[in-house]
Amino acid sequence: MSYVQVMIEHEVLSLNRPFTYFCSFPIQKGCRIRVPFSHRILMGLVIEVSETKPETSYEILDAIEAVDEHPLLNGELFDLASELSKDSVSSLMSVFKTMLPAAYKPASKAGGEVFETWLIKDPIPEDELQRLKLTKKQKEIYEALPLEIIRSKARKEFSASIIKTLEAKGLLRLESKLKTYQLVHQKKLKQPPELTESQRMALFAIEHGDHRPFLLHGVTGSGKTEIFFRLAQKALEQKKSVLLLVPEISLTPMMIERVCSRFDVPVLVFHSRLTKAEMASEYQKALLMDYGIVIGTRKAVFTPFKNLGLIIMDEEHDSSYKQDNTPKYHTRDAAIFRANYWHCPLILASATPSLDSYARAARGIYQLVEMERRISNTVSAIHLIDMKSERNIGGISVPLIQQIQKRLERKEKTILLLNRRGFIPVMKCASCQEVLLCEDCGIPLSYHKKEQALVCHVCGRHYPVPEVCPNCHKRNWSVVGLGTERLEENVRDLFPQAKIVRMDADSTRTKNAHEILLNDFEADGDILIGTQMVAKGLDFEKVTLVGVLQADAALVRADYRAAETTYQMLEQASGRAGRGRYPGEVYIQSYNPEHYVMQSIVHHNYLAFFKREMNYRHLGTYPPYIYMASLVFIHEDPTLAYSMADQWVKTLREQGVNVFGPLELSMRQKKSRIRILIKDKSIENLRNTCWQVAKKHHEKSRQVKLEINVNPMMLEE
């Protein structure tokens, strides 16, 4: 008998409030429970169990039943949840929902695990067995059966009818167990390579460091992965687990392959393409795992561990580490929390550290470890192509075309990066200049040739291509811009004999698409065309040429991080060339070759970029010099959302808060979005202001939705 505090998900519940129930059955903190709530039965998560009756303003009802026998979340994960909730100004329930696999969400819609029936052979005294009078054959099979076996397997491998009889006689007990999946396969183990001088020095620095996080700044191809593995080896020898985070699902196959051909230990995988059942299976394995390696994207940072010995966050600068939806947390913050909890090293690694992290390293908050040389000791030559003066065919400059031709002749590989998917980014009427817009978002639609559709790249909505212009009724569509699909056609026209592989959000929708496309390219592909996803982490020996088209397209974004993200993308893309024995060349097509981003890239000079960019952030009072939060008010009625935002601007300004706006953003799903920005030198003050707004707003208005983003990686558009 006990009293439990339960978090419930329900549309009218205010932020972060648990409810008390009386529990006549045993239950532990971290288990799900079914409880009555305003004439419904809902599922909730137990966050507290106590013997004594707490004070409540309402009558305490009886809980109905326990859903889990064992807790899904332990004390560490509870503490992490409460920290992330506080820091990201979002409800505790939203954090629990993000943390737990979909199948275990403490909400009424949860489910999706797959169960299997097992046969269990409990020990039975000999005389009892005698009494059952088994035939010779029955006895033989009974004895041959393992102590535990999946029922369907037993029926197939032995005799189905005899198994049935044994069940009927009570010799085999039935048990329903979660189905487990084998997501990774052990590879033939490879010997570790001899470390290079620069790897030895980096490893030494990490092994002799203190408790602060490490920022491992190593140029692309400097052999950071080998450093991870040496550190992992040590942790595993101490029977501790290793958490290895990658920003994108496209990077998981390569990392899994590398890990499985190096370590003969349990390896678990977490990413968003797993089915609910697979995710549940991996989670259950993690709960039981003594030590091993967990590889995964953002979500993997919530894996339960019995003993964590090392956290690695590869490509730490990547904005995928920040979740777009509420709770808008950053994986790095969760990783820092966990490393503190377990007193284990945390390695933030990148060839292009985020400005935030590098600035922290400069201030001694992180320990900086640098690796300046590539394993191959080659440096890719970077060529800037000034597109204002250079001739091009289908968007590809003549010098780049010549280089591709050379690679085809030498049987080497080329990667072409264009950060826009689709065929024609926008469809425009040449007669009246009308541009077709998404009805829900108000932004221009992209033409996707294969699907014969117009697609909104914000919300994903598909539209048929109209015969004539809805404005002037003429049929005079014109082609504006270049997308990956169109580029693929142009390249095919230029090099009909080449094998081309295209990788973008459209070609990678299906489950193992990344792996299949990359294997294709590695096997016999000549040219890989893709969006920024091809810039990241790929390691192909034969790639000796990288071409970046429209390199400055991202620079014109109205975002204070535009230069940083462009720099990172270009440097990462350049890093794909010349990783093996052959030196690489990079061709960057730009309309703005004098820009400091382009110049830092040409000279392989991160520090020069860092200094220029920090100067700009200082002048504009942007992070990392200050902290920032964005608050977006969302409603169908633009005047309502606007007036709400406007009131807050006035109120906050009276309190002396540094607030900007309101600014009208593009619509999403037919809803207006009005943003205000808050800046503060103190992160605590900033969070307090956000919580104040969140709580008051919630009391005043449930109609207007409020989305809060503390430390946004990108400002909404």
Q: Tell me if the bond preceding 304 is cis, omega within 30° of 0.
A: no
What DSSP string runs through 593-628?
TTSHHHHHHHTT-HHHHHHHHHHHHHHTT-TTSSEE
Q: Residues 60 to 99: which contact Zn ion by CB under 5 A?
A: none
Partner in contact with 441, chosen from ligand ADP, Zn ion, none, beta carbon below 5 to 8 Å by kind? Zn ion
Partner in contact with 226, chosen from ligand ADP, Zn ion, none, beta carbon below 5 to 8 Å by kind? ligand ADP
Q: How far is the CB of 521 from ligand ADP (least distance, A)?
A: 16
Residue with tokens 């020095």: 201
Here's the x/- map for ligand ADP, 625-644, by CB under 6 A: it reads as --------------------
Distance in angstroms (rounded) separating the CA atoms of residues 710 and 322: 11
Q: Does 260 count as an annotated binding residue?
A: no
Closest CB to ligand ADP among residues 91, 352:
352
What end-to-end distance do the CA atoms of the chain give, in Å? 53
Q: Does 690 count as an annotated binding residue?
A: no
Contacts of 241 (CB under 8 A, 6+ apart): 235, 289, 291, 292, 293, 294, 305, 306, 307, 308, 309, 310
Task: Based on DSSP, count helices (H) and strands (E) in the chain, helices before strands.
Answer: 20, 33
Of 56-64, 190-198, 482-490, 650-658, which part binds ligand ADP (CB under 6 A)?
Answer: 190-198
Closest CB to ligand ADP among residues 386, 541:
541
Distance in angstroms (rounded) separating the CA atoms of residues 616 and 52: 58
Distance in angstroms (rounded) separating the CA atoms of residues 172 and 457: 56
DSSP code of 330?
B
Indicate whether 223 belongs to the interface with ligand ADP (CB under 6 A): yes
Query: Of 73, 470, 609, 582, which Cα lies nearest the Cα of 305?
Result: 73
- Other C-beta atoms closer than 10 Å to the C-beta of 40 total 9
Indicate whether 459 belongs to the interface with Zn ion (CB under 5 A): yes
Partner in contact with 224, chosen from Zn ion, ligand ADP, none, beta carbon below 5 to 8 Å by kind? ligand ADP
Closest CB to ligand ADP among residues 71, 223:
223
- 311 with 231: CB under 8 angstroms? no
Q: How far is the CB of 527 from ligand ADP (least distance, A)?
A: 21
Of 9-17, 216-224, 293-301, 457-465, which part binds ligand ADP (CB under 6 A)?
Answer: 216-224
Partner in contact with 357, chosen from Zn ion, ligand ADP, none, beta carbon below 5 to 8 Å by kind? none
Here's the x/- map for ligand ADP, 484-523, by CB under 6 A: it reads as ----------------------------------------
Q: How far is the CB of 221 from ligand ADP (least distance, A)?
A: 5
Q: Does 23 count as an annotated binding residue?
A: no
Closest CB to Zn ion among residues 249, 438:
438
The residues facing 244 across adjacent strands are 295, 312
Indicate whether 220 belongs to the interface with ligand ADP (CB under 6 A): yes
Indicate whether 196 belongs to the interface with ligand ADP (CB under 6 A): yes
Q: Does 344 count as an annotated binding residue?
A: no
- The CA–CA distances, whole Å, from 255 to 107, 309, 573 equal 33, 19, 18
Query: Of 321, 348, 123, 122, which Cα lies nearest the Cα of 228?
Result: 348
Size of the site for Zn ion (CB under 5 A): 7
- Parallel, antiparallel, or unpaired: how do β-strands 367-371 and 293-296 relate? unpaired
| Candidate list 218, 296, 327, 425; residue touching ligand ADP; CB under 6 A | 218
Closest CB to ligand ADP among residues 264, 372:
372
Indicate whether 441 belongs to the interface with Zn ion (CB under 5 A): yes
Closest CB to ligand ADP among residues 532, 630:
532
Size of the site for ligand ADP (CB under 6 A): 16
- 349 with 218: CB under 8 angstroms? yes
- Parallel, antiparallel, or unpaired: how do β-strands 2-8 and 19-23 relate? antiparallel
Indicate whether 26 belongs to the interface with ligand ADP (CB under 6 A): no
Helices 484-494 and 398-409 meet at what angle, rounded to 10? Answer: 60
What DSSP string runs through 220-276?
TTS-HHHHHHHHHHHHHHTT-EEEEE-S-GGGHHHHHHHHHTT--S-EEEE-TTS-H
Helices marked H in 410-505:
484-494
Q: Is 62 helix (H, G, I), strand (E, B) or coil?
A: strand
Q: How far is the CB of 580 from ligand ADP (least distance, A)?
A: 7
Q: How far is the CB of 262 from ligand ADP (least distance, A)?
A: 10
Closest CB to ligand ADP among residues 370, 440:
370
Q: How far is the CB of 676 from Zn ion (least distance, A)?
A: 23
Closest CB to ligand ADP among residues 126, 194:
194
| Candidate list 32, 224, 330, 675; residue touching ligand ADP; CB under 6 A | 224
Here's the x/- map for ligand ADP, 149-188, by CB under 6 A: it reads as ----------------------------------------
Helices 75-88 and 331-342 meet at what angle, rounded to 10? Answer: 140
Distance in angstroms (rounded) separating the CA atoms of residues 100 and 95: 9
DSSP code of 190?
P
Q: How far is the CB of 635 from Zn ion (least distance, A)?
A: 17
Indicate whether 375 belongs to the interface with ligand ADP (CB under 6 A): yes
| Candidate list 9, 226, 318, 356; residue touching ligand ADP; CB under 6 A | 226
The residues facing 629 across adjacent strands are 678, 710
Indicate whether 199 belongs to the interface with ligand ADP (CB under 6 A): yes
Structure tokens given for 229: 């593995």
| Candidate list 515, 520, 539, 646; residue touching ligand ADP; CB under 6 A | 539
Q: Is 416 helix (H, G, I), strand (E, B) or coil?
A: strand
Partner in contact with 498, chosen from Zn ion, ligand ADP, none, beta carbon below 5 to 8 Å by kind? none
| Candidate list 219, 371, 429, 456; residue touching Zn ion; CB under 5 A | 456
Indicate whether 203 belongs to the interface with ligand ADP (CB under 6 A): no
Indicate whether 440 belongs to the interface with Zn ion (CB under 5 A): yes
Q: How far is the CB of 144 from ligand ADP (least distance, A)?
A: 47
Query: Of 324, 296, 313, which Cα lies nearest the Cα of 353?
Result: 313
Of 2-10, 176-184, 224-232, 377-385, which part binds ligand ADP (CB under 6 A)?
Answer: 224-232
Structure tokens given for 374: 């590539």
Indicate whether 413 belongs to the interface with ligand ADP (CB under 6 A): no
Residue with tokens 């889990």: 68
Residues of the shown chain interacting with ligand ADP in the complex, contacts defined by CB under 6 A: 193-196, 199, 218, 220-226, 375, 539, 579
Q: Which residues are annotated as a binding site for Zn(2+)?
A: 429, 432, 438, 441, 456, 459, 469, 472
